Amino acid sequence: MDEKDVIRALAALAQQSRLQIFRQLVVAGPDGMTPTRLSEALGLPGTALSFHLKELTHANLITQERDGRNLIYRADFASMNSVLAYLTAHCCEGTACEVTTPAACTAC
């Protein structure tokens, strides 16, 4: 993945609705979701959802597949991992990075 692709992906995610859609598709995993399910889960109207799905597709962050009359959208995990790999390449100048564990959840 080159710098231009990473910038396109990050720009697509730098919008609240698109970030929510992408996270919802990550949670859905390989089963993906239909636009109807996404709209219901996120409370987005169909026209807005369609626009955001197009932007995420053009950024190569999600894929679209037709299943009969339905469209199924899925997070493109390979592309997501490529963005993460680009961002963390040469992390800590080649030395071992300090790993921190998240604080325990007090609400759990």
Determine the structural domain holding residue 33 and report its residue range.
3-91
Residue 11 lies in a domain: yes
Q: How many domains does the chain have?
A: 1
Residue 104 lies in a domain: no
Residue 28 lies in a domain: yes
Q: Give me the pLDDT at residue 85, please.
A: 92
Q: Give me the pLDDT at residue 90, please.
A: 77
Residue 40 lies in a domain: yes
Q: Give me the pLDDT at residue 106, please.
A: 55
Q: Kindly report the CATH number assigned to the domain that includes residue 80.
A: 1.10.10.10
Residues of the chain with pLDDT under 70: 94, 99-108
Q: Give me the pLDDT at residue 10, please.
A: 97
Residue 99 lies in a domain: no
Q: For 75-99, how does the pLDDT look when each residue is reduced to its tens digit (9 = 90+)?
A: 999 999 999 999 988 787 767 777 6
Residue 18 lies in a domain: yes
Q: Give me the pLDDT at residue 104, please.
A: 60
Q: Where does 1-108 have alpha helices with state H?
A: 3-13, 16-28, 35-42, 46-58, 77-88
